[in-house]
Amino acid sequence: MFSMNNIYAQKDYKMIEGFYDLSSFEMASGIYLLEEETFFYYASFGNIDLKVFGAYQMNNDGLLTFTPDQKLTNEFDIYGTKNELQKDSITLFYNRPYERIAEKIVLNMGQGEVSFPEFTKEKNTVSISVKRSKSDVLIIGYDTSIPSQKENYISIQLPDDINELKIFHNYYADMVRKFVRSSFQIRDSALIDNNNSQKRSPKKEISDEIITQVKEFIADRKEDKPLEIEGKIYQKLNPVN
């Protein structure tokens, strides 16, 4: 019985593999569903260019559940390098975020929260230097004056040879989380948008070439590529669980 159910499940994923056009007025949008339970969703409107990828599952009623790649939901992206002039301290730089609510952040290295300086009209990057702790665990989050964002923080294990960090707010993190909460359902070879008056998007077949391109795009986005800033190479630092 288990084997038969597994076979049918595999057939279902093969049958729904394709592209579903979700575009609407003033927004280009669509989603690719691949047989191996991988998805790629995009939406472009105004100055927004959202791209989400990860894994998906389908229940017996055709309801889809999306699990985006973890990096897409990280509130901050952190890159680090070694500054030969520093010994027992670390310096962190924070670029002005697009959203004003994300301007007030704090760091904690086991010695209590330390607030970053405020941005000014003339200052689009703020910095702070703190003494390095023995644990080397660094937490970056929002100021307590923003209770609605208290759960959105990032924690990293600082490598021994890293003492200069660049912090960037992930402008798309909240949009990715909202997409995950969306409700879509497969019915009669079409994707039904339960959030948009049951809008129906028929499946469009995709070639092996398109499937390969989607997979290559996802693989490329998953790579932790270094950044070169003012002649220095900064490595991507991933959060600890």
- Residue 1, pLDDT > 60, answer no
Banded pLDDT at 2 (limits 50, 70, 90)? very low
Average pLDDT over residues 24-35: 92
- Residue 122, pLDDT > 50, answer yes
Cα three-residue angle 175-178-180, rounded to 5 degrees:
115
Average pLDDT over residues 25-43: 94
73-120 pLDDT, tens digit per residue, is 999 999 999 998 888 889 999 999 998 889 999 998 887 889 999 999
Query: Of the candidates 14, 31, 33, which has an alpha carbon nearest to the alpha carbon of residue 22?
Result: 31
**pLDDT value, residue 3:** 41
191-232 pLDDT, tens digit per residue, is 999 887 788 999 999 999 999 999 999 999 999 999 999 999
| Structure-model confidence comparison of residues 41 and 7, the more confident one | 41
**What are the respective helix, strand and coil percentages of the chain, to the nearest 5?**
20, 45, 35
- Residue 8, pLDDT > 60, answer no
**pLDDT value, residue 7:** 42
Q: Dihedral of the CA atoms 16, 19, 20, 21 (nearest 10)? A: -170
